[in-house]
Amino acid sequence: MGNEAERRIEVQIPSFIGVAPTNGRFSRLNLVEETIGGVEKRSSQIWERVVDGVGRALKTDPSALRLPDQNELASVFFLRVRARCAAALKGRNPERLSARPFDLFFVWDYVSAALTYCFQREIAVANDYLKRINWFDDRVDTYLECRLDGWISSKRLTQTKRIYCCLERRAKIEMEAAIRAGINLVPVDMIWHFAINEIARQLDKKPSELLLPSWQTVAKAFFTKVEEMCAAGVSNEESPLKGTT
């Protein structure tokens, strides 16, 4: 299973469930199961799109590909996802959100993903695992410069279309609240442990065998840059993250 899929199953899904708004544990459980069930029903269509995509990438007729057992793969995948969700539902109660969920979770998702690859990059550097450094850098840039900065820009453009100054200021305050809340909800500890295990897996080592940088130092530098980028984006200045990791 790829790095991105691992990250979402092990980090994003459980941490999302831990902070998602709810009217009670029962309704949250129902929502999780309905969501998983909806994906499960579309698994055949998803499989067909994946097979067609692989065939195009290899310039081969999809019918000529050697394929694993679709049902077995889907069964293992959904069992694993449901297990992670069940564990997350037994955890702490969701946070009280200080901004609109739709906006807050964009920030939370992009920053969480960028931090995952930032941690992996620093652990890889500490262990001379240099062949993946450019890829980790690219993923950090993708989530921060392309997606988060793009989200901020689109929200700011929406604000400029408002006629009254009071509405413009209110929209700016709402965006700033969403950014702050999204950053505050990033599960730093969970992401750090995932990054350690993922690099250990790629190097075929035990996590205890890795040389580890100070996660506090890495996280502090990362969040400083994210906050500077967000502040610049909100005020329509050039992002300090452009051209950096």
Does residue 82 sit in the same domain as residue 124? Answer: no
Whether 143 and 208 map to the same domain: the answer is yes
Q: Which of 85, 97, 94, 86 is nearest to 24 (CA)?
A: 94
Residues 73 and 138 reside in one and the same domain: no
User: In degrees, to the nearest 5, what angle opens at C-alpha 189 toward C-alphas 99 and 202?
Assistant: 120
Q: What is the pLDDT of residue 125?
A: 96
| 149 and 43 in a common domain | no
Residue 242 lies in a domain: no
Backbone angles phi, psi at 22, to 5 degrees: -160, 160
What's the number of domains the chain is made of?
2
The residue from 49, 65, 89 where one domain ends is 89
pLDDT, position 161 = 47
pLDDT tens, 94-119? Answer: 667 777 777 888 899 999 999 999 99
Q: Has residue 167 been placed in a domain?
A: yes
Rounded Cα distance between 213 and 52, Å, is 42
Amino acid at 232: A
Predicted confidence band at 159 (pLDDT cuts at 50, 70, 90)? Answer: low
Check whether residue 45 and residue 121 sit in a common domain: no
pLDDT in tens, 34-76: 889 999 999 999 999 999 999 898 888 988 888 999 999 999 9
What digits encode the pLDDT tens for the residues 16-44? Answer: 887 776 655 557 788 888 889 999 999 99
Same domain, 37 and 145: no
Expressed as residue numbers, the domain containing 65 is 22-89
Same domain, 42 and 67: yes
Give the residue-averaged pLDDT of 202-206.
94
Per residue, the 3-state secondary structure of the chain, as one string, reads CCHHHHHHHHHHHHHHHHHCCCCCHHHHHHHHHHHHHHHHHCHHHHHHHHHHHHHHHHCCCHHHCCCCCHHHHHHHHHHHHHHHHHHHHCCCCCCCCCCCHHHHHHHHHHHHHHHHHHHHHHHHHHCCCHHHHHHHHHHHHHHHHHHHHHHHHHHHHHHHCCCCHHHHHHHHHHHHHHHHHHHHCCCHHHHHHHHHHHHHHHHCCCHHHCCCCCHHHHHHHHHHHHHHHHHHHHCCCCCCCCCCC
* In the predicted structure, residue 181 carries a pLDDT above the cut 80: yes
Radius of gyration from C-alpha coordinates of the chain: 20
Tell me: do 144 and 201 sit in the same domain.
yes
The pTM score is 0.78
Looking at the structure, tell me whether residues 69 and 186 fall in a common domain: no
What pLDDT, on the 0 to 100 scale, is given for residue 158?
A: 59
Proportion of the chain above pLDDT 70, given as a percent:
84
Residue 230 vs residue 91, higher pLDDT: 230
Residue 16 lies in a domain: no
Q: Above 70 in pLDDT, residue 77?
A: yes
Residue 81: is its pLDDT beyond 70?
yes
